[in-house]
């Protein structure tokens, strides 16, 4: 008999626990799910706090805002597979385009719904070097010198790495007057200097800052200052002569918000990103605010820079993706592991 | 000291062997364990406790316990029935069933997660039906439990099958001739014989259920404070440069593993005394 009691005592928690699980799923409150990419976590923690207060004051509704972070491409995949995001805030427009193309979760013209290409903040690609810049790395041209180790994630899997690649391309394009053979040669030599290709930006950060591999790390600007904060006195940020304007876009996933009845609050949440309060937070977290007045206040840290854009210089994401990163694109031609 | 006459190696060789064994043990087991605890406490007790008290950490702990709390009893039942069926009866397809039980050991955890996405994801086989009825499986608790159950399925069965095989079904047959029915044969004959092996299997199953990363990572959706289990939370914290907090949560997992191991040796001690041991 002792044994039956033992087994029963094991079975009771099972019943109790599975009961709990059901209750959790059934209880409904107004909650928003923001599916984002890796480096935005700290920024959105602050934004969420501010927006919750704003919504409480305006509507008297207590909001619950949930966050999910991961590699931008992987996050898009999860949303397609059924992660019920109310809003997506990803690293590049291409990753939101697939939500329309693959699953019709939002309309094709999503990027026209909000100002500035639906990108309330921007960023760019900078160089992070060891303290004092011992290898004297000043510009893209220095990256192909022999003996320089360059750290970048893999452009096939990482949004940040694609911006890196296009930044290098933009410099070479100007330097060699558009001579594609010379540009390809430059990029080939650059990737010969890359000892490891991590799959995501955070992986590369760990490789460079924690494991101390490499001489220069091609990084998101905001990530570069985060490294400075987390590993004080170990690195310097170097601004190259030219870089690329990275526009991480945001969008309401309309099919999900209609189902959840959250369309209004999801829209308000994204519009809130353009308010002075949220723009201030963007600057605080080393993103470049769209609002130029507020941008000026952070100009000491985030200086004016010669930036090319994906639309003007690469014909938009769809074209850039096809030319450079899809199978058989320029990256496949120049990179041999 | 009585051993001395038995060993033929010179003291030097013996010491070298001992040294090598201790060296390997230190390098591969003790050092990593020490590193986890050292990192966790590097910024002191307060940071350690604070990181375990944080909402996201608490919810990760709760979710991990919940997932293990549901999947372990389920696998206890499944494993017990499977082992009973496979060892007490001979039927066609038995060998096939035996290898099927091992399947979760053989496939990569990533695949173990992806199969559920293919079945229950929004664009999976049953996705549209689930969406129509507003049932969430993937990126919610049921998905996490399914993935955990799949990955930990073989532990109980694998522990019991050799044990029950070696015991044969003589005692059960004797009980039948004495007029016992199936249920009382199970409670009074089979279960007492296998109880230590069963508990051992449950412990292993529980350890893996709490520690599973790959399969759960695929189906979790990584919603902070909602669908991050403890191992996933450790990764998230590590990626956010919160090394102390990451290792604080890792010590919890390490602690659970140590408790499991402690219980396991206790069990071995008892089972050795009582039934001669199945291992």
Q: What is the pLDDT of residue A70?
A: 83
Looking at the predicted structure, is the pLDDT value of residue A214 above 60?
yes
Residues of A in contact with B185 (CB under 8 A): none
Report pTM.
0.79
Mean of pLDDT values over A10-28? 39
Residue B19 and residue B14: Cα distance in Å, rounded?
Answer: 8
Read off the pLDDT band of A21 (50, 70, 90): very low
Tokens at A149, concatenated? 């180790």
Mean of pLDDT values over B258-269? 82
Q: What is the pLDDT of residue A7?
A: 42
Looking at the predicted structure, is the pLDDT value of residue A103 above 70?
yes
Read off the pLDDT band of A164 (50, 70, 90): very high
Q: What is the pLDDT of residue A317?
A: 84
Looking at the predicted structure, is the pLDDT value of residue A3 above 50?
no
Q: What is the CA radius of gyration of chain A?
A: 23
Residue B197 and residue A280: Cα distance in Å, rounded?
Answer: 61
Tokens at B106, concatenated? 């053989």
Mean of pLDDT values over A211-230? 91
pLDDT in tens, B63-86: 999 999 999 999 999 999 999 899
Contact A67 B223 (CB under 8 A): yes
DSSP type of residue A111? G
Looking at the predicted structure, is the pLDDT value of residue B236 above 90?
no
**Total count of residues recorded for chain B:** 279
Q: What number of C-beta contacts closer than 8 Å exist between A and B?
A: 80
Using the Cβ of B139 and the Cβ atoms of chain A, whether some distance falls under 8 Å is answered with yes
Q: What is the pLDDT of residue A278?
A: 96
Q: What is the pLDDT of residue B4?
A: 53
Q: What is the pLDDT of residue B6?
A: 64
pLDDT top residue among A20 and B163:
B163
Tokens at A266, concatenated? 């999801």
Residue B127 and residue B119: Cα distance in Å, rounded?
Answer: 7
Mean of pLDDT values over A218-239? 91
pLDDT in tens, B244-255: 889 999 998 888
Q: Are A129 and A236 in contact (CB under 8 A)?
A: yes
In sequence order, which residues have a C-beta less than 8 Å from that of residue A218 and are 6 or more positions away? A125, A126, A127, A150, A151, A152, A161, A164, A167, A168
What's the Cα-to-Cα distance from A114 to each of A109, A254, A271, B124, rounded to whole Å? 10, 14, 8, 32
Rounded to the nearest integer, the mean pLDDT of chain A is: 87
Q: Are B113 and B219 in contact (CB under 8 A)?
A: yes
pLDDT in tens, B7-47: 678 888 889 999 999 999 999 889 988 888 888 888 888 88
pLDDT in tens, B165-217: 888 888 888 888 888 888 888 888 888 888 888 988 999 899 899 999 999 99
Mean of pLDDT values over A76-83? 92
Residue A201 and residue A38: Cα distance in Å, rounded?
Answer: 8
CA atoms within 13 A on the CB side of B259: 9
The b-or-e profile of B38-58 (16+ CB within 10 A means b, else e) is: ebbeebeeebbeebbebebbe
Backbone angles phi, psi at B254, to 5 degrees: -65, -40
Q: What is the pLDDT of residue B278?
A: 42
Place of tokens 């013996």: B14
Q: What is the pLDDT of residue A301?
A: 86
Which of A198-202, B28-32, B269-273 holds the top average pLDDT? B28-32
Using the Cβ of A18 and the Cβ atoms of chain B, whether some distance falls under 8 Å is answered with yes
Contact A3 B240 (CB under 8 A): no
Residues of B in contact with A67 (CB under 8 A): 223-224
Residue A223 and residue A237: Cα distance in Å, rounded?
Answer: 11
Å between A20 CA and nearest CA of chain B: 9
Q: What percentage of chain A has pLDDT greater than the value 90?
A: 62
Nearest to B204 by CA among B137, B131, B267: B267
For an interface test with B, give the residue of A20, A43, A83 to mutate (most B CBs within 10 A): A83
Looking at the predicted structure, is the pLDDT value of residue A29 above 70?
no
Q: Which of A11, A83, A103 sits opposite B139 (nearest CB)?
A: A83
Residue A250 and residue A110: Cα distance in Å, rounded?
Answer: 9
Q: Are B158 and B98 in contact (CB under 8 A)?
A: no
DSSP type of residue A217? E
CA atoms within 13 A on the CB side of A50: 21
DSSP type of residue A241? S
Read off the pLDDT band of A272 (50, 70, 90): very high
Contact B69 A230 (CB under 8 A): no
pLDDT in tens, B83-137: 989 988 888 888 899 999 999 989 998 999 999 999 999 888 998 888 888 888 9
Using the Cβ of B144 and the Cβ atoms of chain A, whether some distance falls under 8 Å is answered with no
Range with the poorest average pLDDT among A273-287, B49-63, B69-83: B49-63
DSSP type of residue A274? T
Q: What is the pLDDT of residue A26?
A: 34
pLDDT in tens, B130-145: 888 888 899 999 999 9
Mean of pLDDT values over A102-119? 94
Using the Cβ of B239 and the Cβ atoms of chain A, whether some distance falls under 8 Å is answered with yes
Looking at the predicted structure, is the pLDDT value of residue A20 above 50?
no
Residue B214 and residue B232: Cα distance in Å, rounded?
Answer: 9
Q: What is the pLDDT of residue B5?
A: 58
Mean of pLDDT values over A14-25? 38
Mean of pLDDT values over A321-334? 89
Place of tokens 């199970």: B186
Residue B159 and residue B153: Cα distance in Å, rounded?
Answer: 11
Q: What is the pLDDT of residue A19?
A: 38
Residues of A in contact with B73 (CB under 8 A): 10-11, 13-14
Using the Cβ of A69 and the Cβ atoms of chain B, whether some distance falls under 8 Å is answered with yes
Contact B123 A206 (CB under 8 A): no
């Amino acid at each position: 008999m002792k044994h039956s009691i033992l087994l029963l005592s094991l079975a009771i928690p099972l019943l109790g626990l599975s009961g709990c699980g059901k209750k959790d799923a059934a209880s409904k409150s107004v909650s928003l799910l923001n599916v984002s990419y890796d480096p935005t976590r700290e920024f959105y923690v602050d934004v969420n706090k501010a927006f919750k207060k704003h919504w409480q004051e305006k509507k008297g509704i207590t909001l619950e805002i949930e966050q999910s972070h991961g590699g931008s491409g992987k996050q898009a995949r999860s949303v397609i597979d059924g992660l019920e995001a109310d809003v997506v805030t990803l690293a590049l427009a291409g990753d939101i385009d697939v939500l329309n193309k693959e699953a019709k979760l939002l309309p094709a013209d999503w990027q026209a719904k909000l100002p500035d290409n639906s990108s309330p903040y921007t960023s760019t690609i900078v160089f992070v070097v060891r303290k004092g810049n011992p290898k004297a790395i000043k510009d893209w041209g220095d990256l192909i010198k022999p003996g320089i180790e360059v750290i970048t994630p893999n452009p096939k899997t990482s949004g940040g790495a694609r911006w890196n690649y296009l930044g290098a391309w933009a410099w070479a394009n100007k330097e060699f007057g558009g001579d594609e053979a010379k540009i390809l040669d430059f990029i080939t030599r650059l990737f010969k200097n890359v000892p490891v290709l991590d799959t995501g930006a955070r992986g590369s950060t760990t490789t460079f800052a924690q494991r101390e591999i490499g001489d220069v790390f091609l990084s998101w600007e905001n990530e570069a200052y985060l490294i400075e904060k987390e590993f004080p006195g170990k690195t310097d940020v170097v601004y190259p002569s030219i870089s690329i304007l990275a526009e991480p876009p945001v969008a309401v996933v309309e099919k999900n918000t209609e189902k959840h009845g959250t369309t209004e609050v999801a829209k308000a949440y994204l519009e809130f990103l353009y308010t002075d309060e949220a723009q201030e937070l963007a600057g605080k977290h080393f993103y470049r605010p769209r609002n130029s007045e507020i941008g000026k206040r952070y100009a000491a840290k985030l200086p004016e820079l010669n930036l090319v854009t994906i639309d003007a210089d690469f014909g938009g994401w769809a074209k850039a993706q096809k030319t450079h990163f899809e199978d058989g694109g320029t990256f496949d031609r120049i990179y041999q592991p | 000291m009585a051993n001395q006459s038995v060993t033929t190696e010179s003291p030097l060789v013996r010491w070298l062997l001992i040294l090598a064994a201790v060296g390997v043990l230190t390098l591969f087991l003790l050092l990593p364990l020490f590193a986890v605890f050292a990192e966790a406490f590097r910024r002191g007790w307060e940071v350690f406790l604070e990181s375990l008290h944080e909402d996201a950490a608490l919810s990760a702990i709760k979710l991990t316990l919940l997932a293990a709390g549901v999947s372990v009893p389920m696998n206890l039942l499944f494993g017990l029935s499977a082992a009973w069926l496979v060892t007490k009866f001979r039927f066609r397809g038995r060998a096939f069933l035996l290898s099927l039980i091992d399947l979760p050991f053989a496939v990569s955890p990533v695949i173990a997660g992806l199969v559920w996405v293919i079945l229950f994801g929004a664009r999976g086989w049953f996705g549209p039906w689930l969406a129509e009825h507003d049932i969430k499986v993937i990126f919610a608790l049921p998905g996490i439990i399914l993935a955990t159950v799949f990955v930990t399925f073989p532990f109980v069965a694998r522990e019991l099958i050799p044990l029950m095989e070696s015991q044969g079904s003589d005692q059960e047959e004797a009980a039948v001739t004495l007029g016992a029915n199936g249920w009382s044969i199970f409670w009074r004959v089979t279960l007492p014989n296998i109880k230590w092996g069963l508990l051992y299997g449950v412990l292993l199953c529980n350890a893996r259920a709490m520690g599973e990363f790959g399969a759960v990572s695929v189906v979790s959706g990584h919603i902070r404070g909602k669908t991050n289990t403890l191992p996933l939370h450790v990764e998230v914290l590590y990626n956010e440069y919160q090394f102390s907090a990451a290792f604080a949560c890792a010590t919890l997992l390490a602690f659970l593993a140590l408790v499991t191991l402690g219980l396991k040796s206790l069990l071995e001690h008892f089972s050795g005394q009582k039934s001669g041991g199945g291992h």
